[in-house]
């Protein structure tokens, strides 16, 4: 079976490529925009294509003679121009779909995001049909737009599926937990709200197992999107404290009330947009909401249709992350 993984420079794509490369019977191709992608996989039996998937030529080359595409590439963030997010998340997906169909790819697995749900309030047990009145930022909007392309492209010959994993953590995470640790170390991380907000995490091991199961998922399960998490909500600030303690970082921090800080963040966002600031503001409504509000997902659809059964706990993935991070920092 020949598999293409886009965005293999990132946490999910890299972890998946490392895992699948060790399995017999699989031929792995990865893509990345920068030259470092070649060095990353130099020691593994992986075909590497360096290039921008905004180029149809690159997309056609990448999808040629491929059975399954796992699309992890994209632009994440909370600030920037809509056109940048649109190009990276929507047009790239469109290029991959068109070239994959042309090259007779059988299945297209899209790594989407539950960021599209965020509605600046407590949200519990969200199912896949929910949408807010407006998207929280351009990332959320363009991930939804890309996902719509994937769903519409589904057919019996070209089967598609989208996965929406929430807060992916584990060994190899170079974004979520490291960012929280750095903010805590610098004294910039503030507890907003009462600290009791519940959130879902997704252990990287659970996500990788689910992606693999999509290779052989029933035809009837394809053609839609699925929420993904560990299925056990955790108190966000308890998890942050646990990570900091394991890393030897203080858990002392300033506590701030939600409503006033949200109002200040909204004003700050308006000012920076009016000034057309290219630098991401340090205080935004999105980050305030994430730190203060609950967000948990209903994963019944993934359990019932895909046989999803998360086995790696949040604690286990945190332990793996800490071990990996300390080893990486030393080396």
CATH of the domain at 221: 3.40.50.720
Residue 53 binned pLDDT confidence (cut-offs 50, 70, 90): very high
* pLDDT digits 0-9 by tens, 130-170: 999 999 999 999 999 999 999 999 999 999 999 999 999 99
CA 119, 124, 126, 130: dihedral to nearest 10 degrees?
A: -30
Pairing of strands 234-235, 198-199: antiparallel
Of all residues in the chain, the percent with pLDDT exceeding 70 is 99
Domain assignment of residue 179, yes or no: no
pLDDT at 331 over 60: no
Q: Quick one: average pLDDT of 103-115?
A: 98
Domain assignment of residue 98, yes or no: yes
Domain assignment of residue 288, yes or no: no
* pLDDT digits 0-9 by tens, 273-286: 999 999 999 899 99
* pTM of the predicted model as reported, rounded to 2 decimal places: 0.96
Beta bridge partners of 159: 107
Domain that holds residue 157: 2-117+126-169+202-229+298-312
Q: Quick one: average pLDDT of 234-242?
A: 98
Q: Quick one: average pLDDT of 286-298?
A: 97
- Residue 310 phi, psi dihedral angles, 5° rounding: -60, 130
Q: Quick one: pLDDT at residue 123?
A: 98
Domain assignment of residue 263, yes or no: no
Residue 96 contacts residue 153 (beta carbons within 8 Å): no
Cα(264)–Cα(270) distance, integer angstroms: 10
Domain assignment of residue 58, yes or no: yes
Q: Quick one: pLDDT at residue 186?
A: 94
- Residue 64 phi, psi dihedral angles, 5° rounding: -70, 130
Q: Quick one: pLDDT at residue 5?
A: 98
The DSSP 8-state label assigned to residue 110 in this structure reads E
Q: Quick one: average pLDDT of 218-235?
A: 98
Domain assignment of residue 307, yes or no: yes
Domain assignment of residue 324, yes or no: no
* pLDDT digits 0-9 by tens, 176-197: 999 999 999 999 999 999 999 9
Cα(119)–Cα(212) distance, integer angstroms: 31
Q: Quick one: pLDDT at residue 36?
A: 87
Domain assignment of residue 246, yes or no: no
Instruction: State how far the alpha carbon of 305 is from the alpha carbons of 12, 71, 309, in Å.
Output: 22, 21, 11
pLDDT at 225 over 80: yes
Q: Quick one: pLDDT at residue 35?
A: 84
Q: Quick one: pLDDT at residue 329?
A: 67
Number of domains in the chain: 1
């Amino acid at each position: 079976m020949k598999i293409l993984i886009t965005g293999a420079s990132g946490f999910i794509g890299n972890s998946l490529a490392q895992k699948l490369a060790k399995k017999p019977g699989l031929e792995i191709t990865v893509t990345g925009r920068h030259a470092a992608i070649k060095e990353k996989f130099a020691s593994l039996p992986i075909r590497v294509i360096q290039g921008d998937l905004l180029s149809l030529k690159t997309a056609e080359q990448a999808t040629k003679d491929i059975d399954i595409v796992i699309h992890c590439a994209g632009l994440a963030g909370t600030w920037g121009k809509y056109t940048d997010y649109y190009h990276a998340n929507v047009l790239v997906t469109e290029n991959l779909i068109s070239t994959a169909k042309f090259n007779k790819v059988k299945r297209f697995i899209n790594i989407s995001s539950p960021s599209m749900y965020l509605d600046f309030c407590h949200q519990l047990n969200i199912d896949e049909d929910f949408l807010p009145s407006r998207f929280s930022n351009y990332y959320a909007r363009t991930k939804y737009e890309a996902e719509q392309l994937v769903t519409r492209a589904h057919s019996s010959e070209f089967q598609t599926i989208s996965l929406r994993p929430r807060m992916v953590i584990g060994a190899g995470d170079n974004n979520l937990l490291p960012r929280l640790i750095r903010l805590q170390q610098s004294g910039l991380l503030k507890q907003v709200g009462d600290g009791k907000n519940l959130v879902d995490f997704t252990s990287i091991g659970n996500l990788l197992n689910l992606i693999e199961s999509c290779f052989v998922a029933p035809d009837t399960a394809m053609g839609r999107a699925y929420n993904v998490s560990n299925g056990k909500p955790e108190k966000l600030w308890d998890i942050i404290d646990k990570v900091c303690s394991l890393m030897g970082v203080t858990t002392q921090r300033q506590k701030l009330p939600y409503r006033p800080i949200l109002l200040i963040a909204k004003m700050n966002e308006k000012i920076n947009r009016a000034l057309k600031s290219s630098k991401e503001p340090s205080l935004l409504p999105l980050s305030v909401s994430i730190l203060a509000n609950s967000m948990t997902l209903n994963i019944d659809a993934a359990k019932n249709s895909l046989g999803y059964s998360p086995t790696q706990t949040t604690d286990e993935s945190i332990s793996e992350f800490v071990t990996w991070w300390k080893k990486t920092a030393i080396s």
